[in-house]
Chain A
Amino acid sequence: MRTPALLPAPVSKLSPLLAGRAFFIACIAQSLVATVALAGNPGAESPQSLRQLIDTQVRAGWDRENLKGEAQADDATFLRRVYLDLVGTIPTHDEARQFLEDKDAGKRATLVERLLADSRFAQQQATLWDLLLFSRNPPNSEATRKRDGFRQWLTAKFSANVPVDRWVRELLLAEEDGSELFYVQFQNKPEDLTEAFSRIFLGTQLQCARCHDHPNADLEQKDFYGMAGFFVRLVTLPQATEGTGDKQTKRYRIGEKATGEVLFAGNMKELKPGNKGEPVKPKFLGGDPLDEPPPPKDFKEPEVKTGTKSLPKPAFSRKEKLAEWTTAATNPFFARAVVNRTWSQFMGRGIVHPVDNLGAGNQPTLPALLDALAQEFVAHQFDLKWLIREIVNSQTYQLGSSGTARDALPKHFERARIRPLSAEEIMAALQVACGHDPAEKGSDSATPEYFVRYFGTPMNGHGDFQGSLSEHLFLNNSSNVRAFLRRKNGNLADTVLNSQEPWEQRVDRMFLSVLTRLPTGSEREKFVTYLQRDPGPGADPDAVIEEALWVLVNLSEFRFNH
């Protein structure tokens, strides 16, 4: 069932304040009006599939900006990019060779299908969303830092391709085992929860409205507190702890009280002692106040003490109402926030950038496209895999990224984006590149924690990549990284050293394994020269291989997804 939408007025022509307001209202209105012509049933012969619509709209955008798009990426570039984006690692040497030698014209689409069906796809999406829901340093870290139960719960959702509206609803109800940890982060802190919730699920940054009315947006403190009202009644109830020591897992349940209000006392700066603070009734962002029946006259709220393990379900659950409203097809924010974020996963920037600030003043580069993506996503029952399939099969996604341009995240998607690999991806890529078993947690104590520490957040405050001293020292000198490169039974160094092939072919193998491409003529020559040089008396012949592999993994080409 398609939900129609109106294309918002050319908002760039309005003044910023009006534009913000207009945009805000347009978000709400879009669920109610006429449509952009698009395919009805997925898979049926269609006048224009989503992938084609993407390409058309993006190209129209280039024309408006007088830009010329980059040529399509070559097979090697596409192969590596799509592997990293879909399964969070690079292809093995054999997988790479097979793809590059395949003559089938439809091989790219076939590869996409295979990767979408790979179990690692679900893990990659779960990792991305887990990082979004918790960040690298989640609050209430004693309870939330170790969260295998949550990750398992989330990965299962992606493995079964559960529609996004369904699993988000389950997350917000927090009744399934493992799902409650999201709320546990914000134990006793409904205001913090409100900020995170609106940023993640509504793509709206509300944090300024916590302390004062936002000067530019249509956001007031009342909006913030209206949303906080949905969370103020949630209670984190610790259950029995299982296991001991390192293996100890704490379990929790989320209870909901039947009474309790958020108190609002005005602009933070003007708060004085004696201000009572008025209770604020819950109100949906950009929508109506919650229609709530009053509690029965002699209702007594059951007490919550230490050791209380559960609460009776309240007669009227604000939590349920919020979960319903958020994931409804008619919610003006949710679908847009999800598609914008998913778009940015593959294209580098959201159509609205930053990705969680779809509100005032932040114009989408391609408003019609964002609308279409949101509508079609809803029409396809929030099927994330379908959306990703369409994006990744578009020509826009498959553009090349090299050239004379300097910025890494092109605003009009005229080139593919260049983004640094995450810490998890670097570790996975190193394992695959050097021929180590990915099931191994890491050789010579190269635990994932080390990689997160040294590669974790390589951004400056502006969100741009900033090379750090620590990661280079780690790469240069750590035994953890060295463990991947040194000869070990069956790994890449071992294979190269045991091989009887001429050096040119061995160099090809190395490049294909690590960089997912063949070397250029000049590169091959350089490496062959390096590898054939006499190591000198008493020197270790294995050393040159290790050094050559070190060079490959230290190239900026390896560090990024391009």
Chain B
Amino acid sequence: MNGNCRGPEHISRRALLKGALATTAGVAVANWGGLFSSQTIAAEAQKRGKRCILLWMNGGASQIDTFDMKPGRPTGGPFREIKTKVPGYHMCEYLPRMAVIADRLGIIRSMRTQSPDHPEGIYQMHTCYKQSERMPHPELGAMIAKYLGQADADLPSFVRMGPTGNTGSGYLGPRHEPFSIDRNGKLPSFTSPYLLPAREERRNELLLAMEAEAKQASAADVYESHRVAKERAWRLLRAKSLFDTTKEWPSHEPLYGASEFGRGCFLARKLVEAGVPFVEVGQDNYDSHADNFVCHKANMQVLDPAWSGLLIDLERTGQLEDTLVVWMGEVGRTPTINNRAGRDHFIKGWTVVLAGGGIKGGVVYGSTDADGSDVAENPVSEGDLFATIYTTLGINPRVKHFVGTRPVWATPEGSQPVKELLA
């Protein structure tokens, strides 16, 4: 898919019928209309085709050691602060390149969330809902794939690599399931078919015909999931050259840093450029219950060039305004340092950072108290965060679906987008 073709004429008829255009659903809802000065801005967002990249800090990055420093406090630790492009705001010395572009960032320091353990935390930070048996919530990428994706594109609408969430597409169904590729961005093995294209096409047609008949007999989601995955594997093979970054990587390595994660960020940029609306890149591993400081120092030395490289590269290619980059993990980390020189899980006041995609840069929203033991001002819930993300992407945060006869919304009632971050 050519990166330039994002106009409405390429949106499939089926998507139109399903009301996939966020504007159609969104503007009709009263509590959403107030945010936009004009109804057409949302329409513009859809037309421009916004995209989202999620940088997932697997294990939960420590806010006190990155964006919410507490110098001189007993909980402060050995990292020191440096000045940033935002006057009066300081960051960790080991994110120097990010400090230089801090005026592109929307930093939320007052996340106050509900799930302190890994599985529940990963679930909730990917869906904004608490994990429960009864309701299969879709993850962020599935929702974005549905509303900003093109159903018949060769490339999948939801790609992920490295350690990421694994919640799935939930009630949105198998069509919006994630596509996982190797952590270093490479496609898995076996990407060369052994049949000639003509023969393979004939063979695949027979399969499709058989499956169409089977679908009449059984509507189970799992079959659909299997079928969809197979069809998309075929389509992906047609576009597989995009995933091969061997030729371009050497010239981008100085910018992104010579690391697996850096290379993944570069691939993410290429994918969104080619029209993939959501890419998740995971970085391992921030779960430093022991030896927190050496762990974070090494992680930051990988993160700093990769993340700043991504933002700079997006800006340079004119894509930053349309590409939202979200930086978060499943939990924050405790101010208290335990007897393993580590920090444990912490959900009472931590940091998520947004950039691009229409987010106002240079904004530091919310704060924690002197030791970082709780939010001092402007707590932000998972729902509020997701409402902010959806709103800036032009998706109605209260878009409704049905599971059986039960209605379910993309964010819980009462979720408020952070207005200070929306341009």
Question: Is A–B contact present in the complex under a CB 8 A cutoff?
Answer: yes
* A interface residues (Cβ-Cβ under 8 A, vs B): 208, 211, 268-273, 275, 353, 401-408, 418, 420, 460-462, 464-474, 476-479, 482, 520, 522-523, 526-527, 530, 543, 547-548, 550-551, 554-557, 559-560, 562
- Chain B residues positioned under 8 Å from A464 (CB to CB): 136, 168, 221-222
Distance, CA A113 to CA B418, complexed state (A): 65
Q: Which residue of A lies closest to B338 (CB)?
A: A271
Chain A residues lying within 8 Å of B248, measured Cβ to Cβ, are none
In Å, the complex CA distance between A523 and B336 comes to: 67
Which residue of A is nearest B227, CB measured? A556
- Asked whether A476 lies within 8 Å of B181 as measured between CB atoms, the reply is no
Binds A, one of B22-30, B190-198, B279-287, B380-388: B190-198
Establish whether residues B190 and A547, one from each chain, have CB atoms under 8 Å apart when the complex forms: no
Interface string of B219-238 (1 = CB under 8 A from A): 11111011111101110110
Query: Nearest Cβ in chain B — how far from A400, in angstroms?
Result: 9
Choice from A269, A420, A548 contacting B336 with Cβ under 8 Å: A269
Contact of A470 among B188, B210, B213 (CB under 8 A): B188
A467 CA / B187 CA spacing, docked (Å): 16
Query: Are B339 and A477 neighbours in the complex by a CB distance under 8 Å?
Result: no
A475's nearest neighbour on chain B, judged by CB, is B230
**A467, A520, A530, A550 — most chain B CB neighbours (10 Å):** A467
- 9-residue interface stretch from B4-12, B92-100, B172-180, B303-311: B172-180
- Decide: A554 and B207 in contact? CB cutoff 8 A: yes
Using A270-B336, A271-B338, A469-B188 as known contacts, say yes or no to A482 and B194 having CB atoms under 8 A apart: yes
- Which residues of A sit under 8 angstroms from B174, Cβ to Cβ? 467
Q: Which residue of A lies closest to B289 (CB)?
A: A268
Instruction: Flag whether B202 is at the interface (Cβ < 8 A).
Output: yes
Residue in B194, B209, B233 whose CB lies within 8 Å of A469: B233
Taking a contact as CB atoms closer than 8 A, the residue among B180, B194, B199, B336 that contacts A468 in the complex is B180
Note all chain A residues with C-beta closer than 8 A to B165: 461
**With a CB–CB cut-off of 8 A, which chain A residues contact B193?**
476-477
Can you list 30 A-B contacts with CB-CB less than 8 angstroms, sorted by A residue number? A268-B338, A269-B344, A269-B345, A269-B346, A272-B336, A275-B339, A403-B219, A404-B219, A407-B220, A420-B222, A460-B168, A462-B167, A462-B170, A464-B221, A464-B222, A466-B166, A466-B225, A473-B189, A473-B233, A473-B237, A476-B233, A476-B237, A477-B194, A478-B189, A526-B209, A543-B199, A551-B210, A554-B230, A556-B223, A556-B227
**Contacts A402-B218, A479-B194 given; does A526 touch B206 at CB 8 Å:** yes
Please pick, from B167, B168, B220, B338, the residue contacting A418 in the complex, using a CB distance under 8 A.
B220
How close is B235's CB to chain A, nearest CB, in angstroms?
11
Q: Are the CB atoms of A418 and B339 closer together than 8 Å?
A: no
Q: CB-CB < 8 A to A472: which residues of B? A: 229-230, 233
State how many angstroms separate the Cβ of A227 from the closest Cβ of chain B. Answer: 19
Binary flags per residue of B102-138, CB closer than 8 Å to A gives 1, else 0: 0000000000000001010011000000000100100
Q: Which of B135-149 contact A (CB under 8 A)?
A: 136
| A471 vs B236: C-alpha distance when bound (angstroms) | 14
Report whether A467 and B226 are in contact in the complex, using a CB–CB cutoff of 8 Å: yes
Q: How far is the CB of A555 from chain B (nearest CB, A)?
A: 6
| Bound complex: CA A406 to CA B136 (Å) | 13
Q: Residues of B contacting A520 with CB < 8 Å?
A: 213
B420 within 8 A of A: no
Closest 5 CB pairs of A and B: A467-B229, A460-B168, A472-B233, A461-B166, A402-B218
**Given contact pairs A551-B203, A556-B226, A406 touches B219 in the complex (Cβ within 8 A):** yes
Cβ-neighbour of B339 out of A272, A471, A554, A560 (below 8 A): A272
Determine whether the beta carbon of A462 is less than 8 Å from that of B168: yes
Q: How far is the CB of A502 from chain B (nearest CB, A)?
A: 20
A547 touches B214 (CB 8 A): no
Q: Please name all residues of chain A whose beta carbon is closer than 8 Å to the beta carbon of B236 when the two chains form the complex.
A: 469
| Residue of A473, A522, A523 ringed by the most chain B CB atoms within 10 A | A473
CB distance from B348 to the nearest CB of A (A): 11
**B351 in contact (CB, < 8 A):** no
**Contact surface of B with A, Cβ cutoff 8 Å:** 117, 119, 122-123, 133, 136, 165-168, 170, 174, 177-181, 187-195, 199, 202-203, 206-207, 209-211, 213-214, 217-223, 225-230, 232-234, 236-237, 334, 336, 338-339, 344-346
A405 near B220: Cβ-Cβ < 8 Å: yes
* A523, B188: Cβ atoms closer than 8 Å: no
B residues within 8 A CB of A527?
Answer: 206
B123 touches A467 (CB 8 A): no
Which residues of A have CB within 8 Å of B229? 467-469, 471-472
Q: Which residues of chain B are within 8 angstroms of A478 by Cβ–Cβ distance?
A: 189-190
Given contacts A271-B338, A460-B167, A523-B213, contact A465 B207 (CB under 8 A): no
Q: Other than the known A272-B336, A468-B229, what 14 A-B pairs have Cβ atoms closer than 8 Å?
A: A269-B338, A269-B344, A269-B345, A418-B223, A462-B167, A464-B222, A465-B225, A467-B225, A467-B228, A468-B180, A470-B180, A476-B237, A482-B194, A522-B213
Distance between Cα atoms of A268 and B338 in the complex (Å): 8
Q: Return chain B residues, CB-CB under 8 Å to A522.
A: 213
Most buried by B among A211, A472, A543, A555: A472
Instruction: List residues of chain A with CB within 8 A of the CB of B178.
Output: 466
The answer to whether B222 and A465 touch across the interface, beta carbons within 8 angstroms, is yes
CB pair A473 B191 closer than 8 Å: yes
B217 and A547 contact, CB distance less than 8 A = no
Given contacts A460-B168, A547-B203, contact A407 B338 (CB under 8 A): no
A106 to chain B, nearest CB (A): 28
Note all chain B residues with C-beta closer than 8 A to A406: 219-221
Q: Look across to chain B and name the residue whose beta carbon is closest to the beta carbon of A407.
A: B221
On whether the beta carbons of A473 and B190 are closer than 8 Å, the reply is: yes
In the complex, which residue of chain B has the Cβ closest to the Cβ of A477?
A: B190
User: A519 — nearest CB in chain B belongs to which residue?
Assistant: B210
Q: Which of B117, B193, B233 has the most CB of A within 10 A?
A: B233
* A contact residues around B213 at 8 Å (CB): 520, 522-523
B122/A559 in contact, CB under 8 A: no
Closest A residue to B117 using CB positions: A208
Residues of the A chain whose Cβ atoms lie less than 8 Å from the Cβ of B211 = 555-556
Asked if B194 contacts A461 (CB within 8 A), the reply is no
Q: How far is the CA of A469 from the CA of B219 in the complex (A)?
A: 22
Q: Is the CB of B166 within 8 A of A469?
A: no
Q: Report which residue of A462, A527, A543 has the largest number of chain B beta carbons within 10 angstroms of its beta carbon.
A: A462
Q: How far apart are B385's CB and chain A's nearest CB, in angstroms?
A: 20
Shortest distance between the CB of A152 and any CB in chain B (Å): 33
With both beta carbons as reference points, the residue of chain A lying nearest to B240 in the complex is identified as A473
What B residues does A548 contact at CB under 8 A? 206
**Which residues on the B side are within 8 Å of A476 (C-beta)?**
190, 193, 233-234, 237
- Nearest-neighbour CB distance to chain A for B148, whole angstroms, equals 21
What's the nearest-Cβ distance from chain A to residue B330, in Å?
12
CA distance A404 to B199 in the complex (A): 34
Minimum Cβ distance to chain A for residue B361 (Å): 33
Residue of A nearest to B223 (CB): A556
Give the complex CA separation of A557 and B206 in angstroms: 15
Contact of B188 among A473, A547, A560 (CB under 8 A): A473
CB contacts (< 8 Å) of A403 on chain B: these are 218-219
Closest to B343 in A: A269
**Which residue of the partner chain A has the closest CB to B214?**
A557
Determine the distance from Cα of A479 to Cα of B190 in the docked complex, in whole angstroms: 9
Which chain B residues border A402 with CB–CB below 8 Å? 217-218, 220
Which among B178, B188, B219, B237 has the greatest number of chain A C-beta atoms within 10 A?
Answer: B188
- Distance in angstroms from B398 CB to nearest chain A CB is 23
The answer to whether A559 and B181 touch (CB under 8 A), given A404-B219, A476-B233, A547-B199, is: no
A461-B168 contact in complex given A208-B117, A469-B179, C-beta closer than 8 Å: yes
CB distance from A318 to the nearest CB of B (A): 27
Minimal Cβ-Cβ distance residue in B for A460: B168
Distance of A279 Cα from B214 Cα, bound (Å): 61
